Chains A and B, each alone.
Chain A
Amino acid sequence: MKGWDKFFALASGLCVLIIFAFLFWIIFIIARNGAGTISWEFFTAAPVEGMTEGGIFPAIYGTVFLVLVMTVFLMPFGVMAGIYLAEYAPQNSRLTQAIRLAVNNLAGVPSIVFGLFGVGFFIQYAGRGLDRTLGLETVFSQPCLLWAAATLAILNLPVVIKTSEEAIKAVPLEHREAAFALGATKLKMIVRVVLPQAFSGILTGAILSVSRGAGEVAPILFTGAAYYLPYIPKLPTDQFMELGYHIFVLSTQSPDVDKTQPLLYGTILVLLLLTLALNTFAIGLRVRMRRKYGR
């Protein structure tokens, strides 16, 4: 390589370097400033003294609770839609194209818009309706974990649909034919032959959406996350504290910035490590799956 070829190789390589420099800078700053805060107490204690001391246990607990409920809403619909698109949808039909377009567009809806939808639809419409029908005071018609989880489930639906579809399509055709040859119905073939093989691919989608669900703040701002709670939420109709929201609260509404700083960095580090671990796991799973099917 010489002349212009060399120049373009270097220039484009420099772009990669700059991106990675920023990535490492972010991780380094957070690790350096947050590492000192990490202790057993930080994980197990509740915030005290106006959140200038103590730990983040309620936020960790709330995050786990939130993504669990989200997964329960999300996975059945996401995987079923993925199965339909991969196995049943007539390719090139208008309807199938419309569904794909809708999935892709849903993926691009800003997260704050999902938050508004959560308020307008889940709390004001579904919640009020439920309360009226069941003759309750305000149980469902207020921000709570249930609605925050449902909002996040919608936000993550495209991720799960796309990864499930891809995983199902990657299962070799011969396996399907073998199942049919043995007299299986299409549904039985899917449940017994295709889904078990597509499992790690579907799991990738689940993990990616859990990672995203744990990190998204805008959709839960008004649908259930609480600034501070003196108790641990027990029911899905309770409000909850959450890691990402806790970062937002600590960085914008602290009564004493200097005293909060270590806690803030500690919380950022915990969330960052959590999402990095989940993403690395998902990426690893996908690389393994691609190798297995030689793609």
Chain B
Amino acid sequence: MKRGERITNSILEGGLKLSALLAIFLIFLIFIFIFKEALPIFTNPGVRSEVDLRDLFASSVWQPVSDHPRFSLLPLFLGTLKLSLIAILFATPLALGAAIFTAEFAPRALKETIKPGIEILAGIPSVVMGAFALLTLASVLQGIFGWTMRLNAVNAGIALGLAIVPTIYSVADDALRAVPGSFREAAYALGSRRNQAIFRVIIPVALPGIFAGFMLGLGRAIGETMIVLLASGNAAILSLDPALSTRSFSATIAAELGEVVFGSTHYAVLFFIGALLFVITFIINLIANLVVERFKVRLAGVA
């Protein structure tokens, strides 16, 4: 190899490595630049006279645009909790059931239809899902349950649940299929019925993977924006009642950042919410990814 070629090669290979390092770099950059815009809450006296950390976490009213703006994150926190809980309760059984069906019961041809079908569901843009919940699902649910508020936490929660079904399904399905065939054969050899093999052997072994799918779904439900913005009614009510209009962290940012004055208290608080969302989802995803990693290593050891 000529000297010039060797130099070009090492430059190009350095570029490859830098591109991969970009992922790590971006994680830090995202946190720094969102936190930077939220910093006035801690440092700027003008902002601190309007809101301090105690107001954010202890008071109970979110009323950012008024003569006496009030910035309590509590109703938003409860809203986010309520919505993601409903989404998870709706999505987990469905996704898990579907994953068990594809991994254990479905004939091959059916399996080859179910998986792409669920990928199609994953491909539906969240704004479309949100519009569907806003225009159709909400009316149907109201017709059944007779709620006074047409847009509420259940409506948005179900739409959110549909959006996270593919996430939970695909991770759970991977986990179930990663269980070595020998485990199943051993269970059958000991005289297990199919359901005994599934519930006593396969699911317990795949449990870390299933848990990871659940966590990734939860992370997505907490951060998902457009569905909540369109389908939840967006009222910041301090209540756990699922039939009331509900506002989440993510939807609050989406609804309010457009009209906010750059550098104002409200602006800083919205970025603070963003930083909070980033940290919460980061921790949830980190746990999920570490669990998956360990699960793979462990199964690689026995297979």
Flag whether B142 is at the interface (Cβ < 8 A).
no
Do the beta carbons of B119 and A283 come within 8 Å of each other?
yes
Instruction: Name the interface residues of B1-34: CB closer than 8 Å to any CB of A.
Output: 1, 5, 9, 12-13, 15-17, 19-24, 26-27, 29-30, 33-34
Do the beta carbons of A110 and B194 come within 8 Å of each other?
no
Flag whether A224 is at the interface (Cβ < 8 A).
no
Do the beta carbons of A218 and B225 come within 8 Å of each other?
yes
Residues of A contacting B106 in the complex (Cβ-Cβ under 8 angstroms): 13, 16
Given the known interface contacts A109-B281, A218-B254, the answer about A103 and B33 at a Cβ–Cβ threshold of 8 Å is no
Flag whether A211 is at the interface (Cβ < 8 A).
yes
- The one of B119, B250, B278 in contact with A218, judged by C-beta atoms closer than 8 angstroms, is B250
- Interface segment, one of A1-9, A37-45, A170-178, A194-202: A1-9
Flag whether B299 is at the interface (Cβ < 8 A).
no
Q: Specify which of A1, A89, A99, A109 lies most central, judged by the most chain B CB atoms within 10 Å of its CB.
A: A109
Given the known interface contacts A84-B20, A124-B37, A218-B225, the answer about A248 and B127 at a Cβ–Cβ threshold of 8 Å is yes
Chain A nearest Cβ from B176, distance in angstroms: 11
- Classify the secondary structure of B's interface with A: helix
Do the beta carbons of B34 and A116 come within 8 Å of each other?
yes
Flag whether B182 is at the interface (Cβ < 8 A).
no
Flag whether B134 is at the interface (Cβ < 8 A).
yes
Cα A187 to Cα B8 in complex, Å, equals 10
Instruction: Name the interface residues of B31-76: CB closer than 8 Å to any CB of A.
Output: 33-34, 36-37
Instruction: Name the interface residues of B237-280: CB closer than 8 Å to any CB of A.
Output: 250, 253-254, 257-258, 270-271, 274, 277-278
Given the known interface contacts A113-B278, A218-B225, A279-B123, the answer about A19 and B253 at a Cβ–Cβ threshold of 8 Å is no
Flag whether B236 is at the interface (Cβ < 8 A).
no
Given the known interface contacts A110-B281, A272-B124, the answer about A222 and B258 at a Cβ–Cβ threshold of 8 Å is yes
- Classify the secondary structure of A's interface with B: helix
Flag whether B121 is at the interface (Cβ < 8 A).
yes
Residues of A contacting B128 in the complex (Cβ-Cβ under 8 angstroms): 26, 30, 215, 244, 247, 268, 271-272, 275
Cα A23 to Cα B229 in complex, Å, equals 21
Given the known interface contacts A111-B223, A116-B34, A120-B36, the answer about A19 and B121 at a Cβ–Cβ threshold of 8 Å is yes
How many A-B pairs have beta carbons closer than 8 Å: the answer is 267
Cα A244 to Cα B44 in complex, Å, equals 37
Flag whether B155 is at the interface (Cβ < 8 A).
no
Residue of B nearest to A214 (CB): B125
Residue of B nearest to A95 (CB): B21
Do the beta carbons of B94 and A18 come within 8 Å of each other?
yes
Instruction: Give A contacts to B, CB under 8 Å.
Output: 1, 3-5, 7-9, 11-16, 18-20, 22-23, 25-26, 29-30, 76-78, 80-81, 83-85, 88-89, 97-99, 101-117, 119-121, 124-125, 154, 157-158, 161, 185-187, 211-212, 214-218, 221-222, 244-245, 247-248, 251-252, 264-265, 268, 271-272, 275-276, 278-280, 283, 287
Task: Contacts A110-B281, A113-B277, A268-B128 known; list 8 others, CB within 8 Å.
Answer: A12-B97, A16-B98, A30-B132, A109-B278, A114-B30, A187-B13, A221-B257, A283-B116
Instruction: Give B contacts to A, CB under 8 Å.
Output: 1, 5, 9, 12-13, 15-17, 19-24, 26-27, 29-30, 33-34, 36-37, 93-98, 100-102, 104-106, 114, 116-121, 123-129, 131-132, 134-136, 162, 165, 193-195, 198, 216, 219-220, 222-226, 229-230, 250, 253-254, 257-258, 270-271, 274, 277-278, 281-282, 284-286, 288-290, 293
10 contacts between A and B (CB under 8 A): A7-B195, A12-B101, A16-B101, A120-B37, A121-B29, A121-B33, A157-B26, A185-B9, A218-B126, A244-B125
